[in-house]
Chains A and B, each alone.
Chain A
Amino acid sequence: MTTLAFEAPTVQELFEFKPIWVLHIGSLTLDITFPTLLMFAVTILVIGIFLGAFRRPALVPKGFQNVVEAGTDFIREGIAISVIGAEGAVWTPLLAAIFFWILFNNLMSIIPGISFPVTSRMAYPVTLAVLVWIIFNVVGIKEQGFFRYFKNIMFPPGVPLLIKPLLALIEFFSTVIVRPITLSVRLFANMVAGHMILGVLFLATAVFFQSGLGKATFVLPFGLATALMLLELFVIFMQAFIFTILTAVYIAGALHPEH
């Protein structure tokens, strides 16, 4: 009777990819890895979905257009207008791009044959978090003026004089420094954790299936992995939603400091 030893995959095995191509642009060298290709494929997929649904939109929507309209309506009504207000509708394209880009990159985590969440590569959440950081700061400065914006951030009304200096430091730190970090780390950590757990369980399923312990032993890790895939599906949607709604909250705060 032969037995196979189960060894959990390393972080490098799960998240590190060797370059498929290396581009040299002047003095700049850019690697193209599997996650990079996957991210571009997802981007093209999202563009394709929107163009497919709205290239020649029907007055009475049906089928595919109906589904995509429901998605954009959720972003417009459920996030943009409900969080920012009536003027939030102009932010719908940005919020929709963020939501659907994160959503489909996350979904790669549970697509058989791919099983890799693009957003578990830290650069992609960071890209979006930095973009959001730039946007809400620019909006705040443009709407309120540079000094008034930072004054409103650091000195909220109704605070006792003695606490003001400490609170000003905390508020500045939390708004200007912590926000992009929490935005990106939250998304990244959730997708990394999900991918690691699913990776380990599916690997265990394969190992137990081939081991001499009896083929039925694979049922436990396989069942767990299947159940966790459902949980992962929930996390995928939830993380896309959280990132998007926080973006809307930050923009709303920059537009309406009184709130």
Chain B
Amino acid sequence: MLTSVLLAAEEDPTRFVFPKGDELIWGSIAFFILFAVLAKVAFPAINKVLQQRSDKIRASLESAERAKIEADGALDQYRAQLADARAEASRIIEEAKRTAEGVRREVEARAQAEAQQIVERARAEVGSERDRAFQELRGTVGDLSIRLATKVVERELADPDAQRAFVRRMIDELAATAPASGNGGRGGAA
């Protein structure tokens, strides 16, 4: 037995500190089997999957980097477009403001002109109406005066036409003096 070769004394209580030959052989066999399986089967598989993982991660990182560059480019483009759109909007707003101001001034001027025309027309109509009324009033007053004077003096006057001319002259004189006496400021004979 191998053990007896390696053990100095079979009954020595310290013999357990010496390696037994049997166990050296079994230990060597077991460890070599373990190492062989790990070195030939397990670790090639580990290394293969680690390499695949490393490749996959590298490819993913590169892809992500490319995507980031593209996204940055698109972002810059969108920002530029947004800036252009804002400038265009500002320009349109300014133009609209200017147009609105022009329209407002034009409408206001037109309204003022129309208002002026309306006022002028109204004044003219009022003047015309007053003149017409004044003429009518003057005729009526003359007739009434003549009629009244005729009735008052018809018995004493032999020539009615001369009397009538006289009355009219008097009325004209009266009319000429009307502004001074406060009857509308109109001068001249009818």
Answer whether A and B are interacting partners. Answer: yes
Interface residues, chain A, CB within 8 Å of chain B?
A: 10-12, 15-16, 28-33, 35-36, 39-40, 43, 46-47, 50-51, 53-55, 57-60, 69, 72, 92-94, 96-97, 101, 121-124, 126-128, 131, 188, 192
Complex Cα gap A39–B26 (Å): 9
Residue of B nearest to A14 (CB): B16
| Chain A interface mostly | helix
A93, B35: Cβ atoms under 8 Å?
A: yes
Q: Which of A33, A55, A188 contacts B45 (CB 8 A)?
A: A55
Contact residues, B16-69 vs A (CB, 8 A)? 16-28, 30-31, 33-35, 37-39, 41-43, 45-46, 48-49, 52-53, 56
B1 interface residue per 8 A CB criterion: yes
* Size bin of chain B's contact surface: 35 or more
Interface residues, chain B, CB within 8 Å of chain A?
A: 1-3, 13-14, 16-28, 30-31, 33-35, 37-39, 41-43, 45-46, 48-49, 52-53, 56
Q: Which of B27, B33, B56 contacts A124 (CB 8 A)?
A: B27
A121, B23: Cβ atoms under 8 Å?
A: yes
A30, B31: Cβ atoms under 8 Å?
A: no
Complex Cα gap A69–B42 (Å): 11
Of the A-B pairs whose beta carbons lie under 8 Å apart in the complex, a sample of 11, sorted by A's number, is: A12-B16, A33-B23, A47-B33, A47-B37, A54-B49, A59-B49, A101-B31, A121-B19, A123-B27, A126-B19, A127-B23
Instruction: Find chain A residues with CB under 8 A from B21 CB.
Output: 123
Residue of B nearest to A35 (CB): B23
Instruction: Find chain B residues with CB under 8 A from A96 CB.
Output: 38, 43
Given contacts A122-B17, A122-B18, contact A43 B23 (CB under 8 A): no
Q: Which of B18, B22, B28 contacts A36 (CB 8 A)?
A: B22
Instruction: Find chain A residues with CB under 8 A from B18 CB.
Output: 122
Instruction: Find chain A residues with CB under 8 A from B53 CB.
Output: 59-60
B30, A40: Cβ atoms under 8 Å?
A: yes
Complex Cα gap A256–B53 (Å): 31
